[in-house]
Chain A
Amino acid sequence: MIVLNVNGREYQVDAAVSTPLLYALRDYLQLNGAKFGCGLGQCGACTVMVDGKPVLSCITPISVLSGRRIKTIEGLGTIDNPGPVQRAFIDEQAAQCGYCIPGMMMRAQALLEANPAPSKADIRRHMNANLCRCGTHMRILRAVERAVGYLKNDRSAG
């Protein structure tokens, strides 16, 4: 039995300690936002945040996560009240099929939490790990830039 802290809540997960976090989220906690893409840490569809950093949940066993703070796309906002990164992706219409987008948003969120004013080069370098098979990368990059502005407005609005 392992206790996982996900989006500020503690969950007891009764799974083998080598179970990948992605399976724990989807199969045990019904948090289906993180997606299974390749299962080999090559595509980034499963990206979530751990202690503020982007992590590939398909190749991270839950054994390494006790006492660490996990954040998933469900922690960024709700359908009625989407967070700044989610609003930016919607406003930029960055999704085509949408399968890679939760991972994209989580990687973007990790960047913006560490660096609220990234350059275009910073964004490109940081987002490099996540793939979109539809090829909407240009819109995704614009969405991340837009999110920078939304976060700034939200902060100044208090």
Chain B
Amino acid sequence: MIRRLVVVLLLVLAVAGIAFFASAWRPRMPAIDTPLRSSFDAASIQRGAVLTAIGGCASCHTAPNSKAYAGGLPLETPFGTIYATNITPERETGIGRWSLAAFVRAMREGVDRDGRQLYPAFPYDHFTHVADEDLRAIYTYLMTREPIRAEAPRNDLVFPLNVRMLIEGWKLLYFDHAPIRPDATQSAEWNRGAYLAEGLGHCGSCHTPRNFLGALKKRRHYAGGDIEGWHAPALDASSRAPVPWTVDALQQYLKRGVSNVHEVSAGPMTRVIHNLAVVPDEEVRAIATYIASNMGAPEQAREERGKEALIRARSAAEKGGDAGIQKLTTGGQQSETTIQDGRVIYEGTCMLCHGAAQRTTGAPSRDALNLGLSTSIQLGTPVNLIRIVLQGMAPPDGESGPFMPGFSTELTDEQLVSLVTYLRSDFSDHPAWQNVAREVRRARQSLARMD
């Protein structure tokens, strides 16, 4: 009896195994001769340029100081390093021999022309929602770029994750092909925004938390995620922006990287802003409309607090000085000396620009954000604040935009901890961060690796 059970069990396992490998196996698509530029029409190339920018393809597929779309950018994931591939139409190292069908399969199913499974660091779980004609336009655009010969370095992943076949298992568990259905109760603009944000824009791939296998936690859509050492803030009702976002503010932020009562873009988001610069206003507004609706109308208490924060910021700008929240308790176990030291550093560094009128220099910097309005100081993690203080912010070469010097040489680790602890204590009602020293060390190490 038991023997028969074992045999049946083994048979079932064998069949399941064969079925798994059969489903994981994808045929190689035939190589084609790279299509000539003249085989595409200019309008479609132009549309492709805009869509490629919305998709942010260049953000990952272009390495620093390298040619556009030639790949090679390392993506540090919790599972190891994945290198973005070359998506220029070069025949050997790029996608020069890829047919439209092969390209569409990669975008929709996460399988390359050779039939190899692609890691979901390439967000095909979002791209699968992109319409045929849009995929064709992106293909047209990419196939008319300058072909660059560049082989991406080999991925550096821990076993067994380096076995591509296993990605099929991941897909069985997490890959949802279900199309995004238009919502008839919403405006055309909202639906356009949903299509762009959920598909090509893949906003959720950073702004949604991931589980231990790197899959998006669908039930916590837009609850905020972690990416490249930064925290991508929540884009749902749990947003901690002191002043609730509006469609107008989001549109301005997405287009220019700055909303003067919210935040200046930093970290990986600067690449998104850079891409969106070429995207028509109505497309950006559609995305803003959808995201704002996802955040929902703020509750009255939050609305009131936002108004108060704005009043404090304005009065600080006129009278000078601090916009800190007057609190009865400091709440937290950090020592008073740390906070005192941090306050002195704030006064000698940050306040010169962020404290508006109370400047000793007389040099105007009207655009510096009042720290009472900063989301980074309100988040559950100090990583964004630490990174901004360490790295500062600067527009890409040749572009204009907000500038802030980094303080990596000016401040020691201990001084950074004091400053960050002080800012949290004076500009936020949320409890003190417990892991500031560890996160400062981590950020330093990561910056040293980038050097």
Please indicate the chain B residues that have their CB under 8 angstroms from the CB of A59 in the complex. Answer: 348-349, 352, 405, 407, 410
B344 on the A face (CB < 8 A):
yes
A-B contact pairs, 23 of them (CB 8 A): A17-B348, A19-B348, A20-B348, A20-B352, A39-B360, A39-B361, A39-B363, A40-B361, A41-B405, A53-B409, A56-B410, A58-B352, A58-B361, A59-B407, A60-B348, A60-B410, A61-B348, A63-B341, A64-B345, A64-B410, A64-B411, A64-B412, A68-B412
Please indicate the chain A residues that have their CB under 8 angstroms from the CB of B360 in the complex. Answer: 20, 39
Name B311-369 residues within 8 Å CB distance of A.
341, 344-345, 347-349, 352-353, 359-363, 365
- Cα A60 to Cα B349 in complex, Å, equals 6
Which chain A residues have a beta carbon within 8 Å of chain B's beta carbons? Answer: 17-20, 38-42, 50, 53-56, 58-64, 68, 129
B411 near A39: Cβ-Cβ < 8 Å: no
Chain B, residue nearest A54 (CB): B409
Min CB–CB distance A20 → chain B (angstroms): 6
Question: Chain B contact residues (Cβ within 8 angstroms of A): what range?
Answer: 20 to 34
Q: Which of B360, B362, B403 has the most CB of A within 10 A?
A: B360
Please indicate the chain A residues that have their CB under 8 angstroms from the CB of B353 in the complex. Answer: 40
Contact of A50 among B347, B365, B410 (CB under 8 A): B410
- Cα A145 to Cα B417 in complex, Å, equals 37
A40 near B352: Cβ-Cβ < 8 Å: yes
- Cα A55 to Cα B405 in complex, Å, equals 10
A40 near B349: Cβ-Cβ < 8 Å: no
Q: Which of B345, B352, B410 has the most CB of A within 10 A?
A: B410
B415 on the A face (CB < 8 A):
yes
Chain A, residue nearest B411 (CB): A64
Please indicate the chain B residues that have their CB under 8 angstroms from the CB of A56 in the complex. Answer: 405, 410
A61 near B349: Cβ-Cβ < 8 Å: yes
- Cα A64 to Cα B409 in complex, Å, equals 11
- Cα A93 to Cα B405 in complex, Å, equals 29
Min CB–CB distance A93 → chain B (angstroms): 27
- Cα A19 to Cα B345 in complex, Å, equals 10
- Cα A25 to Cα B306 in complex, Å, equals 42
B405 near A61: Cβ-Cβ < 8 Å: no
Please indicate the chain A residues that have their CB under 8 angstroms from the CB of B403 in the complex. Answer: 42
Known contacts: A40-B352, A40-B353, A40-B363. The answer to whether A18 contacts B410 by CB under 8 A is no
